[in-house]
């Protein structure tokens, strides 16, 4: 693994998930473990990009339909009935990457769990000759797990950040890390950062 062949990929670290004025914040749907992620991942982003790697932000997207009503899957509407017009809409505050990690070298809009599903992520990785992804974000058992598994199917080497991803329940987070351990290397943000030197 060399920095130029490596990308940090974060999943759904957006204002609508993390900011107090975002969709989840307004609905009181947050978790301390999730809110801590940007600060923990930022040193890794800095070290990798300064060493020649790149940073890709995959961002959950609700495509605005007629009258700007978001196109929401039935299962998501049942789980998150508070989602409404403007939430996770491209170009909006809520859809944007959190300030702590901005800007990304590449931004990928995703409409499902996996950052590979119907997105341009694989095109970007092939064009940039990336063969290793360091993955973090939310939630461990959702978008993160789906993306790790999809990368595995594409023969892309992955490193999963054990403390760079989180779920709304700690036991679910830990169980998912154990499950994914058979197809990905798992390490902490500090361990991953150390591979590229100190950006400061």
Task: Give residue-wise pLDDT tens across range 140-185.
Answer: 999 999 999 999 999 999 999 999 999 999 999 999 999 999 999 9
Q: How confident is the model at residue 194 (pLDDT cuts 50, 70, 90)?
A: very high
Name the DSSP class of 98: P
pLDDT (tens digit per residue) in 39-84: 999 999 999 999 999 999 999 999 999 999 999 999 999 999 999 9
Q: What is the largest CA-CA distance in the chain?
A: 49
Q: Following DSSP, what letter does each residue of 101-167 receive, concatenated?
A: TPPPSEEEEESSSSSSTTSSHHHHHHHTT--EEEEEEE-IIIIIHHHHHHHHHTT-EEEEEEEEEE-
Average pLDDT, the chain: 96
Q: What is the pLDDT of residue 199?
A: 52
Q: What is the pLDDT of residue 21?
A: 96
- Name every residue whose Cβ is closer than 8 Å to that of residue 60 and which is 6 or more positions away in sequence: 12, 14, 16, 17, 88, 110, 111, 143
Q: How confident is the model at residue 198 (pLDDT cuts 50, 70, 90)?
A: low
């Amino acid at each position: 693994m060399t920095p130029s062949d490596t990308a940090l990929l974060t999943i759904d670290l957006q204002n609508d998930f993390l900011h107090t004025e975002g969709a989840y914040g307004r609905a009181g749907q947050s978790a301390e473990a999730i809110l801590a992620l940007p600060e923990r991942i930022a040193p890794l982003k800095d070290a990798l990009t300064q060493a020649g790697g790149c940073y890709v932000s995959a961002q959950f997207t609700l495509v605005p339909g007629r009258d700007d009503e978001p196109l929401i899957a039935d299962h998501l509407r049942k789980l998150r009935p508070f989602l409404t017009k403007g939430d996770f809409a491209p170009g909006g505050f809520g859809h944007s990457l959190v300030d702590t990690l901005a800007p990304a070298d590449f931004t990928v809009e995703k409409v499902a769990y996996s950052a590979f599903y119907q997105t341009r992520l694989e095109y970007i990785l092939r064009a940039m000759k990336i063969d290793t992804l360091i993955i973090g974000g939310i939630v461990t058992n959702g978008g993160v797990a789906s993306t790790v598994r999809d990368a595995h199917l594409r023969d892309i080497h992955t490193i999963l950040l054990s403390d760079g991803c989180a779920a709304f329940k700690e036991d679910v987070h830990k169980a998912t890390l154990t499950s994914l351990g058979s197809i990905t290397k798992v390490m902490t943000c500090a361990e991953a950062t150390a591979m590229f030197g100190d950006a400061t």
